[in-house]
Amino acid sequence: MTWSETAVLALVLAALVAWLLWVAASRLDRLHRKVMASRLALDAQLVRRASAAVDLAVSGELDPASSVLVAEAAHAVLDDDADARRLADQVPGLVAPDGAPPRRLLGGMASSRALAESDLTATLRSALEDADDVADLRAAPVADELLDTLSAAWYRAQLARRFHNEAVAQAQRVRRKWWVRLFHLAGHAPMPATVELDDAAPDALVRPAASAPTPD
């Protein structure tokens, strides 16, 4: 093989490697954006759940003690500034004004927000764990509608967290590939992290809502 043939072959191989790396980097970028989109969707569904909990708490349908506890737990979620700041500059789109991707959303949920969400879950479970009490609540049309709204929002939040964590797991698998690490295809983006919190709904709330609408 002549020198010129060797040079041409080397150029072809270099171009092929560059193309493969570009494809891999593009795929990783799409996965990162999928994680960011699912994270925003999860936040929206959790806010809806907290808002539904506030509506139930101020309706006067719960006993006074439960109303106060549920309202406080829900407002702790809605007033969490630490996590809100992580999302504020990403709305309404997924690209920051300077064109850079909102990489901070890859880092998962702020610990204060996750604790607030888990506390809201535990408070709602305590207030709605008794099937007879929930049945009595549902005897009133207003309370029945509020419980249906809460149940549907809760179900959508559970689905959104599941979809988000699946997207994170997929991105993590790609990030661990040797060629991704060798060529630093992820740049300075942090490793995507799952959102871990307690979102198990009480059986007394879930069972009557078995026919809840599917998520948007």
Q: Which residues contact 45 (CB under 8 A, 6 or more apart)?
A: 153, 156, 157, 159, 160, 215
User: 92-107 pLDDT, tens per residue?
Assistant: 333 433 343 445 567 7
Q: How many CA atoms lie within 13 A of 212 on its CB side?
A: 23
- Distances in Å between the Cα of 79 and the Cα atoms of 25, 54, 92 are 37, 12, 20
Q: What is the pLDDT of residues 116-156, one digit of tens each?
A: 999 999 999 999 999 999 999 999 999 999 999 999 999 99
C-alpha–C-alpha distance, residues 37 and 71, integer Å:
29
What's this model's pTM, rounded to 2 decimal places?
0.81
Q: Could you report the per-residue pLDDT of 8-48, keeping only the tens digit for each?
A: 777 878 888 888 788 888 889 999 999 999 999 999 999 99
